Structure 1
Amino acid sequence: MEGRKISVSPRPCSGRRVVAKKRPRLDGFVNSVKKLQRREISSKRDRAFSMSNAQERFRNMRLMQEYDTHDPKGHCSLVLPFLMKRTKVIEIVAARDIVFALAHSGVCAAFSRETNERICFLNVSPDEVIRSLFYNKNNDSLITVSVYASDNFSSLKCRSTRIEYIRRGKPDAGFALFESESLKWPGFVEFDDVNGKVLTYSAQDSIYKVFDLKNYTMLYSISDEHVQEIKISPGIMLLIFARASGHVPLKILSIEDGTVLKSFNHLLHRNKKVDFIEQFNEKLLVKQENENLQIFDVRNAELTEVCRTEFMTPSAFIFLYENQLFLTFRDRTVAVWNFRGELVTSFEDHLLWHPDCNTNNIYITSDQDLIISYCKAESEDHWMEGNAGSINISNILTGKCLAKIDVNSGWPTINECGSNNGGLKKRTHSRMRSTVSEALEDITALFYDEERNEIYTGNRHGLVHVWSN
């Protein structure tokens, strides 16, 4: 899939990469495979909830509110016709009781969970197309990455806006970031919340630069036209150079100052395509076409191989750093592996709805204990027909399905609307356009707010639904 190349999902303690486009494209903005392959998730030291508590936390989740990202009358300053069309929600981010929903068209709306009203649109220029969102917890701000019609949609522009300004309905109170960088195709910007860094690449002069995510000051640069890819792990960066005939040159750098920690060559089978090369702390994962998976320890050169019939190349995977595990996604199924090449967990009742492993429909909690996904709905003896799926919450270490939101999840009563938080007191059923079944159809984005214990989903109609207990 062409379009936005994203290495990390927009989730708490994660990073993301967005690549400038060569020409405008109104479809296929999300490269979900790359997005999942590079996703990085940090963990709290202690797990806050046991399995039973997790079941209780999600047991009574029901449809409680609906927001609409489409309102051309409310944003009449837009000059691009496609921005005024109703399109699917491709990304949801929540911060400080504000829900941000980005539509495929490039329009981004902010909604208040306190008043249940739309606060504002984040498009501050009439020709702005927002491509990506990133919540920077270091300074409580939202970073938007956009392209503009005046620039033929070819160059990325970043803007930081404090959440407090957005809450006041002043999205134009932000300031531009990385103005000195030329982020034209195939340049990119990557936000790495794990290390608190930003990586930019200027294709014009083949220079990578690393910035501090706290104050956006430049720390150091890497200038080498032979670098093919940079991949980030906690504390380090892996530089992958142009492949030689029988090996690929690699360097491991300190992410803090760019110091070279190790340089080495990894041997490859000649004339075999490389499926992926990934770095996970001291472990290097290399998979070539029709070959075994190699897990190489860069500290002691110890090599572990996993038979290609046991570990078939996944379409995507997610690293769980402090658990020393990784998830693989293949044919709508999820599995958990350790770095000895052993299968740890297979998931029950967790057949993903989307075959492309779209990470917008997957959320992993910061404790790395739960995975929340949009799945195929299952009856007692077969997969249910129809367009309504289910939101499944499963334990990562056991694979057990702890709870799910499906068509049997009830509506709140009028009393329940008034007995929840103040933002729900004014809501009546007449303000809800969708039934539970309709809200579970064609979900295109999913986000779990761990502080509020609420799940937000977006669908192809541009509607955002709040699920809460």
Structure 2
Amino acid sequence: MEKKKIPARPRLRVTAERQQRPSSFLNSVRKLQRREIGGFRGIRSSASNVQEKFRNFQLQEEFDTHDPKVQFFLILQFLKKRSKIIEIVAAKDVIFALAQSGLCAAFSRTTNERICFLNISPDEVIRSLFYNKNNESLITVSVYASDCFSSLKCRTTPIEYIRRNQLDAGFALFETESLKWPGFVEFDDVNGKVLTYSAQDGIYKVFDLKNYSFLYSISDRNVQEIKISPGIMLLIYNRSASHVPLKIISIEDGTVLKSFHHLLHRNKKVDFIEQFNEKLLVKQENENLQILDVRNSELIEVSRTEFMTPSAFIFLYENHLFLTFRNRTVAVWNFRGELVTSFEDHLLWHRDCNTNNIYITSDQDLIISYCKAEESECEGDAVGSINMSNILTGKCISKICASDPALQVRPRMEGRSKIRSTVREALEDVTALFYDEDRNEIYTGNKQGLIHVWSN
């Protein structure tokens, strides 16, 4: 499988919300917590090579998404206020930073200047970003004040045209679809598909991510949820008291591959149902985790005291492993229900497992996260560290922390540096993180709307 440019975001779901005032709407971004990772090439770097890669990292550059001089956003004045960064995407030497306000800025790593704002309309609030490697374009998912922020609208723009600040070269996607709440659009880079759901008519549609052509639809109001796995989709139907109907279909053409019922404990809510290739994971409240092989009905149970319901998953497809996130901790499991790895120094900063602060490398051997720093003086200390840990061993390979005396700000060269933050300030309140594997650079965003570049 081809190396992924954005391995921590190969699958992204953005759900439409109920009509709300703009101020409350901005905090209602709902993303799919389960992120599947593809692109494993079967070659892992040694610990020494990884350590060398991150050796001598410095604070190299600073970008600011806030510009009080911008007069374009006349309708939505809150877009002009300083706002925290909630998402960072980088591709082709361009960094895209999305603020919670809905303002999205593009910066060039070639010139270290801001290229443009991606909001093409004065009432546009951008909800999320997706880099489509198939055609080297950026997809923005937005809502508009003129529509009372009620419907998702998608737009694609080639990176090359963004680099030239020619945003009019982009075009709208899925214009025929009504994506009002609880409708959604989901981009799946692993299979190269887009899944939309129109709640208005109860129809799911699948499109080709390469050219956005329509492939097939699923019209069944009894479908409660759809989970995507390599090559297949799991259709979860409304449960009965004793079981939940399930159907596995081919993601290419919608052909039904298997239909079956999975027995449930009565009067116990379902914590989650997840599909990973031939493995079905089912967990009910205060019950054991069940791992079912749908090919031969072989069932493995993991004690509820050993496996407690996580807040998020990340599936490592080629490794046949999965990560779980719970109470700031990360663990690695296999599909025999065995704990493979516990991390020795990787306590996540955010209790709610903000997946925009987590990055998995395309080799699936390294996790990079914003973590609680060991040197933090107290619980209220806002300074964290960026930790790089080996997924299979749990060992901390390297970290960027304010207490490191070797960590410095790049010296100013002929007055061209825009860095105003100290190292400690740059590591305060980090709200988004991204690792550019091609450039070997880490980008972090904070509550002040600043982007910081870390590299050697």
TM bracket (short chain): over 0.9
Task: Choose which of 302, 324, 328 in structure 2 pairs with 1:328.
Answer: 324
Structure-2 separation of matches of 1:225 and 1:413: 57
Amino acid at match of 1:26: F
1:146 pairs with 2:127: no
Per-residue CA deviations over 1:171-212 (Å, capped at 9, x if unaligned) read 232000000101111110000000000000000100000000
- 2:445 aligned with 1:446: no
Deviation by residue 1:210-232 (Cα, 9 ceiling, x = unmatched):
00000000000000000000000
Q: Which residue of 2 aligns with 1:422?
A: none
Mapped to 1, the partners of 2:14 and 2:162 lie a distance apart of 23
String of CA shifts for 1:381-428, please: whole Å, max 9, x gaps: x878621100000000000000000002522453xx66xxxxxx8633
The reply to whether residue 396 of structure 1 matches residue 391 of structure 2 is: yes
| CA distance, structure 1, for counterparts of residue 6 and residue 365 of structure 2 | 18
| TM alignment of 1:160-199, pairs within 5 A | 160-199=156-195
Distance 1:46 1:75, change over 3 A: farther
Distance 2:163 2:268 in 1: 53
CA separation of 1:435 and 1:181: change in aligned 2, threshold 3 A = same
Residue 467 of structure 1 pairs with residue 416 of structure 2: no
On the 8 A contact 2:60/2:410 being kept in 1, the answer is no
For 1:192, the aligned partner's letter is D
Q: Deviations over 1:418-449 (max 9, x none)?
A: 6xxxxxx8633xx2121100000000000000
Q: Which amino acid aligns with 2:416?
A: R
**Corresponding pairs, count:** 447
RMSD: 1.7
Shift of residue 45, structure 1, vs aligned partner: 2.2
Question: SS of the counterpart of 2:70?
Answer: helix
- Out of 281, 284, 287, the residue aligned to residue 288 of structure 1 is 284
Q: 2:423 aligns with which of 425, 436, 458?
A: 436
- 2: CA distance, partners of 1:370 / 1:222: 37
- Aligned position for 1:6: none
What is the 5 A alignment of 1:298-309? Answer: 298-309=294-305
Residue 84 of structure 2 corresponds to residue 100 of structure 1: no
The whole-number CA distance in structure 2 between the counterparts of 1:151 and 1:13 is 28
1:232 is aligned to 228
In 1, Cα distance between the equivalents of 2:103 and 2:9? 25
Distance (whole Å) between structure 2 residues aligned to residue 262 and residue 329 of structure 1: 30
Deviations for 1:64-102, whole angstroms, at most 9, x for unmatched residues?
100001113135344201111111000000000000000
8 Å CA contact 1:219–1:257 kept in 2: the answer is yes
Between 1:253-262 and 1:44-53, the stretch displaced more is 44-53
- Other-structure match for 1:427: 416
Distance 1:10 1:383 in 2: 34
Letter aligned with residue 58 of structure 1 = F
* Letter in structure 2 aligned against 1:88: K
User: Equivalents in 1 of 2:202, 2:12: separation in Å?
Assistant: 20
Could you tell me which residue of structure 1 aligns to residue 275 of structure 2? 279
Unaligned runs of 5+ in 1: 1-8, 419-424
**Match of 1:457?**
444
CA distance in 1 between partners of 2:286 and 2:379 (Å): 35
CA deviation profile, 1:336-366 (whole Å, cap 9, x unmatched):
1100000100001111110000001000001
TM-score by length of 1: 0.92
Structure 2 unaligned spans of 5+ = none
Residues 1:265 and 2:261 aligned together: yes
Counterpart residue type for residue 73 of structure 1: K
What are the Cα deviations for residues 119-170 of structure 1, in whole angstroms up to 9, with x where unaligned?
A: 0000000000000100000001000000000000000000000001100011
Counterpart CA distance in 2 for 1:283 and 1:310 is 19
Q: 1:297 to 1:426 in 2, by over 3 A?
A: farther
Please, which of 407, 424, 445 is the counterpart of residue 410 of structure 1? 407
Partner of 1:85: 81
Matched residues in 1 for 2:247 and 2:90: separation?
36
Residue matched to 1:131: 127
Percent sequence identity is: 75
Paired residues of 1:141 and 1:160 also in contact (CA < 8 A): yes
Residues 222 and 238 in structure 2, CA contact (< 8 A), matched pair in contact too: yes
- For residues 20-39 of structure 1, what are the structure 2 equivalents within 5 Å? 20-24=16-20, 25-31=24-30, 35-36=32-33, 38-39=34-35
What residue in structure 2 maps to residue 387 of structure 1?
382
Q: CA deviation at 1:271?
A: 0.2
Structure 1 residue aligned with 2:244: 248
Q: Any conservation in 1 of the 2:126–2:141 contact (CA below 8 Å)?
A: yes
